Amino acid sequence: MKQTITLTVNGDEFQLAVDPRRTLLEVLREELHLTGAKKNCNEGECGACTVIMDGKAVSSCLVLAVQARGKKIETIEGLARNGKLHPLQEAFVKHGGLQCGFCTPGMIMSAKALLDKNPRPTEDEIKTAIAGNLCRCTGYVKILESIKAVVDGKG
């Protein structure tokens, strides 16, 4: 039996009838066609599906869509405003914080959740915030540099 839920995604409200077994990730990708959040492991181990829910970074593959009922969801698609990239996005471009790009949306969302709460985190706090986001390409060096550049206002 489908349940009707309201989701607020990047400021837009959606009324959806969803199967209670569907994850937030599936609903974002398949119903709302917001494919920026990526699916890899589908079991909370890689962070590719990270979105922000009520201010907190979550693995959307572990959240049921019905659990997100009434919550405010932010995805990578909502970051750039009026054609202007978010400072984190700018920094990842400028400092080479990505290669294949598959981990990038999740990585940036984890970083954003941190900076929204704590604009001047320490290096350890940054590492903790992205510890659940796997990246096979970069060795994380330029990802850290990108996030630090934003923290230091050098984005």
Q: For residue 38, state whether it binds other proteins (rule: CB under 8 A).
A: yes
Q: For residue 137, state whether it binds ligand FES (rule: CB under 6 A).
A: yes
x/- site string to other proteins, residues 116 to 145, per CB under 8 A? -----------x--xxxxxxxxxxxxxxx-
Task: Kindly list the distances between the CA atom of residue 28 and the CA atoms of 7, 35, 49, 74, 143, in Å, as whole numbers in the listed order.
Answer: 10, 7, 10, 11, 25
Measured CA to CA, the distance from residue 154 to residue 132 in angstroms comes to 25
38 within 8 A of 48, measured Cβ to Cβ: yes
Q: For residue 99, state whether it binds other proteins (rule: CB under 8 A).
A: yes
19-48 per-residue burial string, b: 16 or more CB within 10 A, e: under 16? eeebbbbbbbbeebebebbbbeeeeeebbb
**Residue closer to ligand FES (CB basis): 61 or 150:** 61
Q: For residue 63, state whether it binds ligand FES (rule: CB under 6 A).
A: no
Measured CA to CA, the distance from residue 137 to residue 59 in angstroms comes to 20
Q: For other proteins, which residue of 64, 74, 92, 111 counts as binding (CB under 8 A)? A: 92
Question: Shortest distance, CB of residue 138 to ligand FES, whole angstroms?
Answer: 5
Question: Shortest distance, CB of residue 82 to other proteins, whole angstroms?
Answer: 13
Q: For ligand FES, which residue of 58, 63, 76, 98 counts as binding (CB under 6 A)? A: 98
Name the residue type at position 151.
V
| Positions that interact with other proteins (CB under 8 A) | 29, 33-43, 45-46, 48, 75-77, 79-80, 85, 88-89, 92-96, 98-105, 108, 127, 130-144
